[in-house]
Structure 1
Amino acid sequence: MSTTTSPRRRPLSPIEIRTLGLASLGGMLEFYDFVIFVFFTGVIGRLFFPADLPDWLRQLQTFGLFAAGYLARPLGGVIMAHFGDTVGRKRVFTFSVLLMAIPTLLIGLLPTYARIGALAPLLLLAMRVMQGAAIGGEAPGGWVFVAEHAAPGRVGLAVGLLTGGLTGGILLGSLMATSIDLALTPAQIAGGWWRLPFLVGGVFGFAAMVLRRWLEETPVFLEMRGRARQAREMPLRAVLRRHRAAVVASMASTWMLTAAIVVVILMTPSLLQKLFALSPRDTLLANLAGTASLCVSAVMVGMATDRFGLRRTAVPVTLLLVGSTYALYLGAASRPDALVWLYLLAGAGAGVASLTPVLMVRAFPASVRFSGLSFSYNVAYAVFGGATPLLVSWLVHLDRLAPAHYVAGVAAIGLAAVFLAPESTG
């Protein structure tokens, strides 16, 4: 994979700015729809399951609903990727938003267990499966879409902007949940205000779908269609037969992405409270700062791959992820007053997430790019994203620095993947 610097680049055209801006904003709104569930699992568990269930069983079932969204990602991603490689990127990119908006809106309207009994959690499960299928096509489809619209020397910027938009959805969800927690009592939230974030999310989704109607099909797909170069066999079959090295490298890199997002951004606030007795308010504010830093860093890392090459960028960014994660956990014990600044640094390190899509869009040829990227990313995320919370939660009983050790070990695997990944000439 090339490490040479790119030639001098012209400024972005108005059309490129519109395409990247609309795609990134739509990605942020759709990812908000998927993650808002995690911020309200407590109240949802109390409302959608029998009141006489033990707390541990109710919590287990609620997180099972959350996990269902992850398990549905590979199936939804593979199906949408197939059509993305055969009928067009834009159609699938737009459809994924609709598939997310509908169940998000319906969650905000669902009757609770007190009204319809066991049907309530079953309907909620169906909504989460639909959301999981939608998000399975969103991130891969978005990365392929913006990368194929990007001019030479701008692929990293395009992918970084979309990644920053996706992570911005996490920030938006966190801000929404924080605002509701600060403004309302637990009784008011359980009384019906918990529905507001989902209703707003449904509106966000339909707005994102409207925005994407203004986008154009990618030049790469139009060129393939004009030359009748779409995949003549099932795209996924071609990926598994002829691009196994790209699949392995992409999965290993996705593992690093899950470590950065799941451990550093999603799990660390509760881990800091449990391991170092820090207050929820302090960890929440620090996490907001870290998530905002991640959004900016994701864009900067993407831009750096354009200027310096993927490998030259990967080494310092991966070292930043490892060093800042250790600093965050060590500082939580010795310098809790510096928690916000430490989390800002860790969020910047989590910008390593942009390396994964840059690697993947380069590893697969255009004819099977959507399918190869979607299969590798979604299967790896379902496996590693699902196993990481369980594994890290067990490891912290052995060592308070276990989350940092885990991130460091996975980062080494991800860095190796960057150097071993093939680069397609298609």
Structure 2
Amino acid sequence: MATRMSAQRTSDSRSRSRRAAASGWIGSALEYYDWFVYAQAAALIFPSIFFPGGNSTVALVSSLGTYAVGYVARPIGAVLFGHYGDRHGRKNVLVLAMLLMGVSTFAVALLPTYHQVGLWAPVLLVLLRFVQGFAVAGELSGASAMIAEHAPFGRRGYYTSFSLHGTQAGQIIAAAVFLPLSAVLSDQAFDSWGWRIPFLLSAVVVFAGYVIRRRVEETEVFTKAENAPVRAPFVQVMRESGTDVLRAICMTLVNVIGVVVSVFGAAYATQSGYGIEMSKSVYLWIPVVANLVALPFIPWFASLSDRIGRRPLMIVGALGSGALSFAYLWSVSRGDVALTIVLAILTWGIFYQICNATFAAYYQELFPARTRVTGFAIAQNVGLTITAFLPSIFTLAAPPGSANVPLVVGGLCLGINVIAAFAAWSARETHRVPLESLGEKDAVPVPREEFDRLRSEAR
């Protein structure tokens, strides 16, 4: 009887873990579809329809600046959503974030252009991007907390990686929606009304997100922490875990790779001022292919982090992808589409994914349950806010007409990734720390032999 009850508990635990991972994947895919639809449009479409013409550099910098505005809103959303998630539950924060994101993205599709209403067009665009940033700040921190707290010991990295897997899938879907439209429609039709279709599809996000997220069970870890709530999670996490917040912010800077490949890289490859002028429809395939390659690697790298630790993967991924950014930008400068795709796959689809697959579990493990969503959300979103300004900074450092774009931008990218690697090196290892001790600086890791046994049982 005892054996049957134990087996039933194990089966129920695995079922909850899988449901949490599936919910995190689907929710992240839907929400980040919205986020990346905007990113693609900001680089490829918005400079010509929402900003005055006459100066390609000004229009491009302004458009990429609206992309960055969403990240400015993220720290604000991180504090508020983190507070809500640590005080009222992981599930509730995920539903609210999804609804705000879907509504704001749908509204972008209805905006008039600069030629129709003048300066009101970029003003309204900036306002809606701000709401997007506010909403997305609660997504990954809440989803990965939900998954990590449901995951079996020794498998947290693997299960938590599905929230990141969903973000990559969302980016693939976003680009895949743009691809047939840009291929079928003329440039005039695409710039006039075709670009609005991906934004209109966000109505699906609002409905699907609500249905999916309402069915997720709250975690037992939060339920226990709820008995001793923290009145001000932001104050508490900065007092208890301020150095870990700073480390995680620095590690988040590795996201400069996505900026170089998909945002600045798209502008560099397609905007006429740089003189390369790859086809927009062709260039849209580059992030799609890189992310398709990334999909099988994310759970594999995450599972590897469960075996050998989080720190080694964060360091190798940051340094490797930073070094490859030189070669990637050089291939773009040559207009070599095939080589650009290969290097995008290596830079973004493989080496960057070593970090991307690992960080969600790592950040969750750095903070205790009572401030976990807040600590993750603040660290990730402050780091992403910094990286969001890099497309505009890169454009100013290497403006259209520059002859040394790969050297300048590649050097900046590598330097930023060295900072991320150093932050990971300075952090403590967490993969063998039991769930109840996560975030405690004096926590004792489980001995390797015992950890391997428990991890094997959790499979």
TM-score normalised by the shorter chain: which range applies? 0.7 to 0.9
- What's the counterpart of residue 286 of structure 2? 286
Task: From the superposition, tell whether residues 250 and 102 of structure 1 become closer, same or farther in structure 2 (CA, over 3 Å).
Answer: same
Alpha-carbon separation, structure 2, partners of 1:408 and 1:190: 35
* Structure 1 residue 13, shift from structure 2 partner: 2.9
Q: 1:267 aligns with which of 261, 264, 270?
A: 264
Q: Residue 105 of structure 1 contacts residue 203 of structure 1 at CA under 8 Å; is this kept in 2?
A: no
- Once the two structures are superposed, the pairs formed by residues 10-409 of structure 1 within 5 Å of their partners are 13-41=14-42, 43-48=45-50, 56-112=57-113, 118-225=119-226, 228-231=227-230, 233-256=231-254, 258-271=255-268, 277=276, 279-280=278-279, 283-329=283-329, 337-346=338-347, 347-351=349-353, 352-387=355-390, 389-391=392-394, 394=397, 398=404, 400-409=406-415
* Structure 1 residue 87, shift from structure 2 partner: 1.0
Worse overlay, 333-342 or 296-305 = 333-342
Worse overlay, 112-121 or 129-138 = 112-121
Alpha-carbon separation, structure 2, partners of 1:326 and 1:91: 43
Q: 1:410 aligns with which of 416, 419, 431?
A: 416
* Structure 1 residue 44, shift from structure 2 partner: 4.1
Q: Residue 50 of structure 2 contacts residue 114 of structure 2 at CA under 8 Å; is this kept in 1?
A: yes
Task: From the superposition, tell whether residues 207 and 408 of structure 1 become closer, same or farther in structure 2 (CA, over 3 Å).
Answer: same
Amino acid at match of 1:242: E
Task: From the superposition, tell whether residues 28 and 60 of structure 1 become closer, same or farther in structure 2 (CA, over 3 Å).
Answer: same
Alpha-carbon separation, structure 2, partners of 1:404 and 1:305: 28
Worse overlay, 309-318 or 99-108 = 309-318
Alpha-carbon separation, structure 1, partners of 2:341 and 2:65: 32
Q: Residue 164 of structure 1 contacts residue 295 of structure 1 at CA under 8 Å; is this kept in 2?
A: yes
Q: Residue 153 of structure 1 contacts residue 306 of structure 1 at CA under 8 Å; is this kept in 2?
A: yes
Alpha-carbon separation, structure 2, partners of 1:420 and 1:97: 34
Amino acid at match of 2:95: T
Question: Deviations for 1:141-182, whole angstroms, at most 9, x for unmatched residues?
Answer: 222222112111121112211112112222211111122110
Amino acid at match of 1:229: A
Task: From the superposition, tell whether residues 67 and 303 of structure 1 become closer, same or farther in structure 2 (CA, over 3 Å).
Answer: same
Q: Report % sequence identity.
A: 25
TM-score by length of 1: 0.86
Aligned-partner SS, 1:342? helix
* Structure 1 residue 297, shift from structure 2 partner: 2.8
Q: Residue 394 of structure 2 contacts residue 409 of structure 2 at CA under 8 Å; is this kept in 1?
A: no
Q: Residue 257 of structure 2 contacts residue 322 of structure 2 at CA under 8 Å; is this kept in 1?
A: no
Q: Residue 141 of structure 1 contacts residue 370 of structure 1 at CA under 8 Å; is this kept in 2?
A: yes
Amino acid at match of 2:229: Q
Alpha-carbon separation, structure 1, partners of 2:186 and 2:377: 41
* Structure 1 residue 282, shift from structure 2 partner: 5.1
How many aligned residue pairs are there? 412
* Structure 1 residue 26, shift from structure 2 partner: 1.1
Worse overlay, 116-125 or 19-28 = 116-125
Q: Which segments of 5 or more consecutive residues in structure 1 lack a partner in the other structure?
A: 1-9
Aligned-partner SS, 1:40? helix
* Structure 1 residue 25, shift from structure 2 partner: 1.3
Alpha-carbon separation, structure 2, partners of 1:264 and 1:60: 17
Amino acid at match of 2:288: L
Amino acid at match of 2:263: L
Task: From the superposition, tell whether residues 330 and 121 of structure 1 become closer, same or farther in structure 2 (CA, over 3 Å).
Answer: closer
Alpha-carbon separation, structure 1, partners of 2:409 and 2:121: 36
Worse overlay, 140-149 or 98-107 = 140-149
* Structure 1 residue 393, shift from structure 2 partner: 5.5
Alpha-carbon separation, structure 2, partners of 1:259 and 1:130: 23
For the aligned residues, what is the CA RMSD?
2.9
Alpha-carbon separation, structure 2, partners of 1:59 and 1:207: 34
- What's the counterpart of residue 435 of structure 2? none
Q: Residue 160 of structure 1 contacts residue 299 of structure 1 at CA under 8 Å; is this kept in 2?
A: yes
* Structure 1 residue 58, shift from structure 2 partner: 4.4
* Structure 1 residue 185, shift from structure 2 partner: 1.1
Question: Deviations for 1:47-90, whole angstroms, at most 9, x for unmatched residues?
Answer: 4456x775555444433332221111111121111111111111
* Structure 1 residue 369, shift from structure 2 partner: 1.0
Question: Deviations for 1:275-324, whole angstroms, at most 9, x for unmatched residues?
Answer: 79473355443332112223333332222111221123334434542454
- What's the counterpart of residue 5 of structure 1? none
Aligned-partner SS, 2:197? helix
Worse overlay, 247-256 or 319-328 = 319-328
TM-score by length of 2: 0.80
Q: Residue 315 of structure 2 contacts residue 424 of structure 2 at CA under 8 Å; is this kept in 1?
A: no
Worse overlay, 333-342 or 368-377 = 333-342
Alpha-carbon separation, structure 1, partners of 2:180 and 2:394: 31
Question: Deviations for 1:175-210, whole angstroms, at most 9, x for unmatched residues?
Answer: 111221101012222442322111102322331221
Alpha-carbon separation, structure 1, partners of 2:60 and 2:256: 23
